[in-house]
Amino acid sequence: MTTPAPAEEFQQYRPRLFGLAYRMLGSADEAEDMLQDAYLRWSGARREDIEQPGAWLAKVVTNLCLNRLTSARAQRERYPGPWLPEPVVTEGGALGPLESAEQLDTVSTALLVLLERLTPAERAVYVLREAFAYGHREIAAVLDLSEANCRQLYRRATQRVAAPTPRFTPRPEQRRSLVESFVAAAREGDVAGLERLLADDVTWWSDGGGKITAARRPIMGREKVLRFLRGALDGYAAGITLSVAEVNGAPALLAHQGDALAAVVSFEAGGDGAISELRAVVNPGKLGFVQRQLAAL
């Protein structure tokens, strides 16, 4: 039996490795860079020294991401305005298999924002445990830590990402209906329709990265968010088209201006089923990956 060429074998693991790197970094472009570095190490390694290619590659990617997170944390502390993860279209399996609600949740925008609270080691343990079902012994081998230390890091991580109140998770069809209703109301300029969809304490977050006009602070409360949306709807008449796609495991709003993607907006629902959070990525530097994905669909 012939052994697959290094590039061919690496491709078998690529979606899983990309999903790992993306969850670790919250950046699709940086995840691509990590895979490039991992492939260089993979292609230069002696095959006879690698008993389990998947585990070997996961360890390499995890440790590359840990090194990257050290500098990324410093950059995000200086980031102009709210930082949001780069959106990724998940319909094509870019982040590996997302066959369960738990797997979908590990790529949600809401969770990726919460993961920013963790130290790099806590994040690695949490991602490996929650998204890839690694045991603590396996995680210890990846991180070169003791099993007891990994258990402690995992316990601390779960406490730090826990929301103050239990999150309401609508059924997939409810979530889709909510987003489609929002898009329909926005297309029609139906402010009253938008108002009915928003919770009293709704919050709008915008990530412009200092590269485009965007709110530097969260906009809180239904009236203030509606006022903001009224202004944004004026842009719709100027050639903005709206659509819905599965992004980060859930329906999201896509806004195009001509052929260019202008924004990706993700949604969270409150306990009453109304929209409680809207997170808009408008930083052009964070939209390139998802635009390439959409062009390939």
Residue 222 contacts residue 202 (beta carbons within 8 Å): yes
Could you give the domains of the chain? 6-161 (1.20.140.160), 172-296 (3.10.450.50)
- The C-alpha angle 142, 106, 99, rounded to 5 degrees, equals 100
The one-digit pLDDT tens for each residue of the chain (297 residues) are 455 678 888 999 999 999 999 999 999 999 999 999 999 999 988 888 888 999 999 999 999 999 999 888 778 878 888 999 999 999 877 777 676 677 778 899 999 999 999 999 999 999 999 999 999 999 999 999 999 999 999 999 999 998 655 566 778 788 899 999 999 999 888 999 999 999 999 999 999 988 887 888 999 999 999 999 988 777 555 678 999 999 999 999 999 988 899 999 999 998 788 999 999 999 999 999 999 999 887
Residue 85 contacts residue 109 (beta carbons within 8 Å): yes
How are strands ordered across the β-sheet holding 240-247?
Answer: 219-220, 198-207, 275-281, 260-269, 250-257, 240-247
- Tell me the two tokens of residue 294: 């959409």
List strand residue ranges (DSSP E) for 140-274, in order: 198-207, 219-220, 240-247, 250-257, 260-269
Q: Report which of 74, 137, 127 is spatially closest to residue 102, judged by C-alpha positions.
A: 127
Enumerate residues 6+ apart whose C-beta is below 8 A from 288.
29
Residue 291 contacts residue 247 (beta carbons within 8 Å): no
pTM tops 0.85: yes
